[in-house]
Amino acid sequence: MTLAKRVIPCLDVAAGRVVKGVNFQNLVDAGDPVELAKFYGAAGADELTFLDISASVEERSTTLEMVARTAEQVFIPLTVGGGIRESRDVDRLLRAGADKISVNTAAIARPQLINEIADRFGDQVLVLSVDARRGETPSGFEVTTHGGRTGTGIDAFSWIVDAASRGIGEILLNSMDADGTRAGYDTEMIARVREITHVPLIASGGAGKLEDFSAALAAGADALLAASVFHFQTFTISQVKEDLARRGYEVRA
């Protein structure tokens, strides 16, 4: 009788199609976003995340329409990230049917964006997406941009504390060291970030085995995001939840 730990499939999309590759490269087409969203909704996903990795404005223009079609057909919360640069972008996505939006690169370039979104739409709408990897910064973790390809020299923990003071509802903590490896979530980073923030923490990057999910929860995650293991049906969301329940975690049946 308490809050359930969330399991969230992430659909990387570009030009209205789902794509997912190792470390965001070597993209492989894995289907229609709306159909996949419906499938995951029925399969027990607690939320859905769309990450728009479109390279151009033309490609991105399909996103709003896709979000609207998904929101019409799927009755669970929908987070959309990618390409959000101003509060007007947030307004469009929320009107299309998104429930939350995630910001990453644009907020690093212009942190005031976080204040603008939080003040206008409320903290709870904003998921701070942090792509972090081990690096030569005070915490030992560095923020990266552009899907982990570009280092910023910014300390990941300082950035999280700064962003949280501006107003965020959640943190999507994506380990660029673990992403695509299927070697497990970065439990060290999760545990250390848990100590410096009071907002819910979504673990991302590295899920490959069933036991990886409970390990991330034990480290302090509140929600678990994964892509390829679900898209390529390594296991089902039900199998993940059954394993979590067996280990004593609350999940939504």
Partner 1 sequence: MQRAFALTGHETIVTSDPAISLKSDGLVVPGVGAYGACMEQLIAVGGDAIISERVASGAPILGICVGMQILFAAGTEKGGHIGLGIFAGQVSEIAAPILPHIGWNNVRSDESSILFRGLQNERFYFVHSFAAKVVVAGAANSWTNYGEDFLAAVERGSVSAVQFHPEKSGAVGAALIANWAGIL
- 3 state DSSP class of 156: helix
- 3 state DSSP class of 223: strand
Binding mask 211-230 for partner 1 (x = CB under 8 A): -----------xx-------
What part of residues 44-73 is at the interface with partner 1 (CB under 8 A)?
A: 46, 72
CA neighbor of 195 nearest in space, from 168, 169, 167, 164:
164
183 or 245: CB nearest partner 1:
245
Sorted by sequence, the CB contacts under 8 Å of residue 173 that are 6+ apart come out as 130, 132, 189, 190, 193, 201, 202, 203, 204, 221
CB 140 within 8 A of CB 193: no
How big is the chain, counted in residues? 253
What part of residues 95-124 is at the interface with partner 1 (CB under 8 A)?
A: 99-100, 120-124
Binding mask 76-95 for partner 1 (x = CB under 8 A): xx------------------
21 or 200: CB nearest partner 1:
200
| Rounded distance between C-alpha atoms, residue 111 and residue 86, angstroms | 11
Count of Cβ atoms closer than 10 Å to residue 233 Cβ? 8
Task: Establish if 248 lies at the interface with partner 1 (CB under 8 A).
Answer: no
Binding mask 154-173 for partner 1 (x = CB under 8 A): ---------------xx---
Q: Which of 41, 83, 184, 205 binds partner 1 (CB under 8 A)?
A: 41
Q: Which residues are catalytic?
A: 12, 131
| Residue ranges in contact with partner 1 by CB under 8 A | 1-6, 41, 46, 72, 75-77, 99-100, 120-124, 169-170, 198-200, 222-223, 252
